[in-house]
Amino acid sequence: MALSHKARRRWSLVILLVGLPLYVVVAVTVVNWLGVKFGRPPILLELAVYVGLGILWAFPFKYVFRGVGQADPDQDAK
């Protein structure tokens, strides 16, 4: 079942306002835990991990975010 444009807009707001901050907290916690357990990695490796995690979160939600900034195609032009 495909999501309507209105539903995709609502889900994108929920993902950005609730899910993304939670993801950031989890990612920072995991990287810090790994730093405590194995020693802090070099700064460039740590930066690469954060950049990778910053890109990785969006892939599962690509369909939800597609076309959200456009006008609703289901509405009649008035």
Q: Does 3 or 10 have the greater pLDDT score?
A: 10
Residues 6+ apart with CB under 8 A from 63: 3
The total number of structural domains in the chain stands at 1
The pLDDT of residue 78:
54
> What is the domain extent for residue 36?
24-63
pLDDT in tens, 7-57: 889 999 999 999 999 999 999 998 899 899 999 889 999 899 999 998 998
pLDDT band for position 77 (cuts 50, 70, 90):
low
The end-to-end CA distance of the chain, in Å, is 28
- Is the residue at 55 inside a domain? yes
Residue pointed to by tokens 């929920």: 14
Decide: helix, strand or coil at residue 71. coil
pLDDT band for position 1 (cuts 50, 70, 90):
low
- Is the residue at 44 inside a domain? yes
